[in-house]
Structure 1
């Protein structure tokens, strides 16, 4: 900055004002300084600026599974909203089992992130959240949430979405229904399971594979549990899945053993990933606004960073039931 000031014939303060967009110099002088800086190839150091101000314009995003398209799309929304406010996003992968949650969170804090967004919290993370609160680190929970946690949450009504989907499947004439859910520790997975179960009970049914309904949110888990399910219950005529990726694993096994969807069995997912309506698949599922979820979480976190001390909010986003060809009614086309 001193070199730019010398070349431009102005003070270092004027260079600082011009580069930051702050008032203090005329528009003509600002253009002159910027032109000189560009000619010299000068780029302001973000680190130096943060050190001078004592703050950073960076937030941390902790993703449960960076390979899952769901989390990638949430991340896209976070990055877009943060960029609009001049913030960068530091992304960390904590793993589907969450064993690196605390380690990753503290690493983000050590990098001076101004706040954190979590996508894979479970009840056992409560002590971590308590510590972050004591250190005045703003936190927003996305998708999953810890009951009783005094921080903001952004997500959908997983229970009622699952209830509607299961009710639709029952209405198609399916009666031997199985559930392949996500991890029991996930509040989203438990909400979806309860919705599926209550809809089946309302119709006088129970999932044929209860209580063996839990699994991972992965294609491999879906395939693994589907093989066991079809071996034990060969006449199952519907499978309600905890997400679209699990449904892909189930579909893999159906293809292997010659079980036709939807002629022999209805199949549903959850999340409505881009592949769910690609080509011949056309999976019945629940649309979750992933990009909006990320944007809302980032905006809420930035409000907290700016000093908003209002009570924690639950931001319930809209969902939509997508009925496609994998749940054609019995005898239908």
Structure 2
């Protein structure tokens, strides 16, 4: 690649003079400008696209930190962000922070590289990392809950979503309904468990400790949790899975045990990934609008970057929808 040094040598001027011609920041004589422009054309020099942004204190880069890229929900969030960012000539970088150490390191390294703004799914992120983002003073949006120390957030009502699927199972005549959650203690698991318990109590059904298992938000986590639940003395006749990946693992175990879904075991998921309509039987689930979540996050960031809002905390709430298919 031809750089500013080669242009300066060809035009017989200093590199700072070439920079002044390119940026227009300082006046240059007509004769000198003509020599520099001729050298630029002849050599095919193109200014680095990030140079002007760096001079203005911006890099044109927005970061997204997610717990894992193995869950298709998060790439959909990224796609939604790009829908909004790309027309504004902003680049999205996505980081998979699968462990506490990696997520803390990822936050620090992204801030060192001067990203202009950041979106993060807060569960699995250490408080020190979130505090570092807040102290950096860049626009910051979290998925699912308001960030500590202030900032914007985008969420759907996970309590309501889990209530809907549990109520749906009760209406289908199921009374031994189990809950198979993801990582214990994280916000989505807590909120979806709360919705499940509220629906049972509203119907006058007991919340049985042996019917609540927390695993991981993965297909293997679903397999492991389903085996635990189905080995109980009184096995459930329905399972509320905390996401679709967990539900796919339950379907694997049901096939291995020759259980018919939904006749022997009804099953629901959460998120409505594309695969939810493709598995056998197609999965009843909650549509969690991942792409629109990403768009909402990006809009909040752009409004902050453009200076359109003050330092208030803003929350965007999006609707979730019960999608009924053959697994119930």
Question: SS at 2:231's partner residue?
Answer: helix
Question: SS at 2:74's partner residue?
Answer: helix
**2:114 matches 1:112:** yes
- Aligned residue in 1 for 2:322: 321
- Aligned residue in 1 for 2:278: 278
- Aligned residue in 2 for 1:59: 62
Provide Cα deviations, 1:194-232, integer angstroms capped at 9, x if missing partner: 001110111122344547421210000100111111111
CA contact (8 A) 2:119 2:297 kept: yes
Q: CA deviation at 1:246?
A: 0.1
CA contact (8 A) 1:114 1:138 kept: yes
- Aligned residue in 1 for 2:33: none
Provide Cα deviations, 1:239-273, integer angstroms capped at 9, x if missing partner: 00000000000000000010110011110000000
In structure 2, C-alpha distance between the alignment counterparts of 1:41 and 1:319, rounded to whole Å:
52
In structure 2, C-alpha distance between the alignment counterparts of 1:50 and 1:148, rounded to whole Å:
30
- Aligned residue in 2 for 1:239: 239
Q: Relative to 1, partners in 2 of residues 1:175 and 1:49: Cα closer, same or farther, differing over 3 Å?
A: same
Q: CA deviation at 1:310?
A: 3.9
In structure 2, C-alpha distance between the alignment counterparts of 1:176 and 1:211, rounded to whole Å:
8
Q: 1:71 aligns with which of 48, 69, 74?
A: 74
Provide Cα deviations, 1:50-78, integer angstroms capped at 9, x if missing partner: 33333211111101101110111111111
Q: CA deviation at 1:40?
A: 5.9
- How many residues align? The count is 303
User: 5 Å matches for 1:30-109?
Assistant: 41-95=44-98, 97-109=99-111
Q: Relative to 1, partners in 2 of residues 1:305 and 1:57: Cα closer, same or farther, differing over 3 Å?
A: same
Question: SS at 1:167's partner residue?
Answer: helix
What TM-score comes out, normalization by structure 1 length?
0.83
Select between 189-198 and 210-219 the one with higher mean Cα deviation: 210-219
Provide Cα deviations, 1:78-100, integer angstroms capped at 9, x if missing partner: 122111211111221101x4442
In structure 2, C-alpha distance between the alignment counterparts of 1:171 and 1:99, rounded to whole Å:
44
Q: Relative to 1, partners in 2 of residues 1:304 and 1:195: Cα closer, same or farther, differing over 3 Å?
A: same
Q: Relative to 1, partners in 2 of residues 1:306 and 1:210: Cα closer, same or farther, differing over 3 Å?
A: farther
What TM-score comes out, normalization by structure 2 length?
0.84
**2:123 matches 1:135:** no
For structure 1, the 5+ residue unaligned runs are: 18-32, 328-333
- Aligned residue in 1 for 2:123: 121
Superposed CA RMSD in Å reads 2.6
- Aligned residue in 2 for 1:21: none
Question: SS at 2:119's partner residue?
Answer: strand
In structure 1, C-alpha distance between the alignment counterparts of 2:310 and 2:184, rounded to whole Å:
33
Q: CA deviation at 1:279?
A: 5.5
For structure 2, the 5+ residue unaligned runs are: 12-17, 25-36
In structure 2, C-alpha distance between the alignment counterparts of 1:274 and 1:300, rounded to whole Å:
27
Q: CA deviation at 1:131?
A: 2.9
